[in-house]
Amino acid sequence: MSKDPHQSDGIRLQKVLSQAGVASRRAAEEMILQGRITVDGQVVRKLGTRVDPQKQTIHADGELVITDPAKHIVLALNKPVGMVSTMSDPEGRPCLSDVLADYPERLYHVGRLDIDTSGLLLLTNDGELANRLSHPSYEVEKTYVARLHGEVRPGVRKQLLRGIELEDGPIKVDSFKIKEQYGDITTVEITVHEGRNRLVRRLMEEVGHPVRELVRVRFGPIRLERLQPGTVRRIKGNDLTALYKAVDL
């Protein structure tokens, strides 16, 4: 812990919990006494504990307590086709900074979507969160909806779930669902937990069904929902807590 949890300065822990919306002050006191609150990784049971919510990390029942929303900026962007997943582009193509004028903070994009893929891209000012969401060891699921060439036979699903050998190593999908079949176009939903370059496109080409259109609709607990192309929304509340919990923060 970066400070003594029984320090005389700072704000009483139960007040911080109450202001963060975790529980009423009386209920927060009970949570402290029951050992359900940690500060910088250490269980705190003393009601007189004071903390600095600007500098210390608090968890309630294992979930991060967002004490200062400005410290935890996470944005969901619906990246349109034709936009590059970088803050600037030497070729002058549309890029992420074009839609982030209202956010002067330094933001990290969590992975990338290729220029021909649209959908959900996360950005955050929390470098550790960005790193963990991108790291394969945390196995954060990403779900895509793809329109494919050709009629997809049931054997393709079994093949993808069993695993495919690509040039950069084997990969298997977490789930594969056929959503619609119309003529020689099949719409499918694919979930993977790796973030390799153009992974879904390469997978589907390998099984004989090149991708016509590809949209990412979910990243971990965050969904694209009705977010319009080229616009962003701030991730807050339970969704923000769930995102941190997904990578053990």
The DSSP bridge partners found for residue 215 are 118, 145
Structure tokens at 247: 């990578």
φ/ψ of residue 11, rounded to 5: -115, 140
Residue 27: its H or E element:
helix 25-33
Options 40, 52, 89, 114, the catalytic residue = 114
Based on the residue annotation, tell me whether 114 is a catalytic residue of this protein: yes
Give residue for tokens 């959900």.
Answer: 120
Q: 30 to each of 16, 48, 51, 168, 241, how far by Cα in Å?
A: 14, 13, 17, 52, 21
Identify whether the C-beta of residue 120 lies closer than 8 Å to the C-beta of residue 219: yes
Closest by alpha carbon to 151, among 215, 208, 203, 199?
A: 208
Residue 190, helix vs strand vs coil: strand
Known catalytic residues?
114
